[in-house]
Amino acid sequence: MAKTIVEKIFSEQCGRNISAGDVVMAPVSGAMLHDITGPLAIDKFYEMGGDRVFDPAKVIMMFDHQAPADSLDAAENQKKMRIFAKEQGIYNYDIKEGVCHQVTMEKGRVSPGDIVVGGDSHTCTYGAAGAFATGIGSTDLGFVLRFGCLYFRVPETIRAEVSGRFSDLVGPKDLILKMTGDIGADGATYRAIEFCGETIERMGMAGRMTCCNMAIEMGAKAGLVPPDAVTRRWCEEYTSCTWKEFVSDPGATYHSTRSFDVSDLVPQVAVPHNVDHVVDVTAVAGTPVDQVFIGSCTNGRYEDLAEAAQVLKYRSFSNDVRVLVIPASRTEYLKALRAGIIERFVEAGALVEAPCCGPCMGGSFGLIAAGEVSFATSNRNFRGRQGSTSGEVYLGSPATATATAITGKITDPREVA
């Protein structure tokens, strides 16, 4: 029977014929723990009688949410995880590599056809590599550490077909915001989203990661891009990546198909306080902002920083705006540094921070006060997400964030470029 990628992955990993709707106990190829949800997962592992983790080589650990430790509690949590890693023989990237999802991908810890879980809702990012990757809670993660498998209800797939060429300064973030607006915050709950079509085929890994990253903002269990030549080149960079070509069969059964054409797409902005409240940038242009954040697992890669630099040119940022630039990883930081982009940001007046989540989830530094407005390239604008519950968060692309940081008001990047 014709199968979707998701059905193929589960069939292969479980060694039997599996279809959407089946409930399976499936082995996992990778389990990611970070400093926020990891400590609780370790407690649960022990509560379930754990002694040795199922396979230390399959456990991925790093600290990014409150890194370096910004409080005594954070320091204690990280210490607990470091001890666990040592005892269990788990390689720990600790605080030095960057945001968990970027690091997991760029260290080649994901291969096409894998089932990967992580104690973080944006684990779905790894679908860009053609893997089935999904976010889970700490108790499920403790179970995985203990047994190496987990219950899954194999999801039906929504096929998102994207066509057309992006116009200048419009890109993957605008597309995924548009999709989120159309599909809605719970429009894909319990489903997987398969991103396909000519626009996705032309898109690099960075853009594909941006799209898969935000699948959860529509409630999806996973977002996936069918592995192709782009994935293959990416995979070949990592010795640990095993190439497997999992693509949906012609005639596979989908939950539904949605078509998007990006030809006429303009920069998109998610307005407070819902990610699916999405408008054209022109609808909110002129709104004054207090802080701009360029970074996160959604848009903190080299390509994003380069897009920002393309808009910035030799200008300076507005004196009324605090600009935080936080590369998603050490690798991406170095790429941008060597290209002279970091220097440009610093000259323009940005604070360039070491790779971490930064203000993205309001649990560390760079918070906004009551009544303040943040414009961010990250993925969530829930009330209080970046600090005060009386603050406001707008979301957009690196280009729009940069234009906004230059003028101090939400600005269409095509106007300043």
Partner 1 sequence: MRVWRFGDDIDTDAIIPGRFLTINDPAELAKHAFEGTNDAFAREVSPGDVIVAGRNFGCGSSREHAPLALKGAGIGMVIAKSFARIFYRNSINVGLLPVICPDADFIGENDSIVPNLAAGYLEASGRQLPIEPVPEFLKKIIDAGGLVSYANQLHGEDICTR
| Candidate list 3, 8, 44, 173; residue touching partner 1; CB under 8 A | 44
**Minimum gap (Å) between residue 18 Cβ and partner 1:** 14
Distance in Å from the first CA to the final CA of the chain: 51
The alpha carbon of residue 379 and the mean position of all alpha carbons in its chain are separated, in whole angstroms, by: 8
What the block records as the tokens of 258 is 């949605």
In this structure, what token pair is assigned to residue 144?
Answer: 């995985």
Should residue 186 be labelled a site residue for partner 1 when binding is judged by CB under 8 A?
yes
Residue 385 interacting partner from ligand SF4, partner 1, none (CB closer than 5 to 8 Å by kind): partner 1
CB of 143 to partner 1, least distance (A): 6
Q: Which of 261, 338, 389, 415 binds partner 1 (CB under 8 A)?
A: 389
Query: Could you tell me if 363 and 65 are in contact, meaning their C-beta atoms sit under 8 angstroms apart?
Result: yes
Report the interface residues with ligand SF4, using CB under 6 A.
64-65, 99-101, 120, 122, 296-297, 357, 360-361, 378-379
* 100 interacts with, out of ligand SF4, partner 1, none, CB within 5 to 8 A per kind: ligand SF4
- Asked whether the beta carbons of 126 and 133 are under 8 A apart, the reply is yes
Q: Cα 344 vs. chain centroid, distance in angstroms?
A: 25
Q: Using the minimum distance from each CB to ligand SF4, give the nearer residue, 64 or 156.
A: 64
The CB density around residue 6, as the number of other CB atoms within 10 Å, is 28
76 Cβ contact list (under 8 Å, min separation 6): none
Nearest Cα to Cα of residue 388 among 375, 401, 372: 372
The CB-of-51 to partner 1 minimum distance in angstroms stands at: 11
Least distance in angstroms from the C-beta of 50 to ligand SF4: 25
Identify the burial level of 237 via C-beta atoms within 10 angstroms of its C-beta, where 0-12 means exposed, 13-18 middle and 19 or more buried. exposed
Selection from ligand SF4, partner 1, none that 74 binds (CB < 5 to 8 A by kind) is partner 1
| Nearest one of 113, 110, 111, 190 to 152, comparing CA atoms | 190
Where does this chain bind partner 1 (CB under 8 A)? 23, 25, 27, 36-37, 39-40, 43-44, 47-49, 65-66, 71, 73-74, 76-77, 119-121, 123, 135-140, 142-143, 146-149, 151, 153, 185-186, 189-190, 216, 219, 221, 274, 361-363, 380, 382-385, 388-390
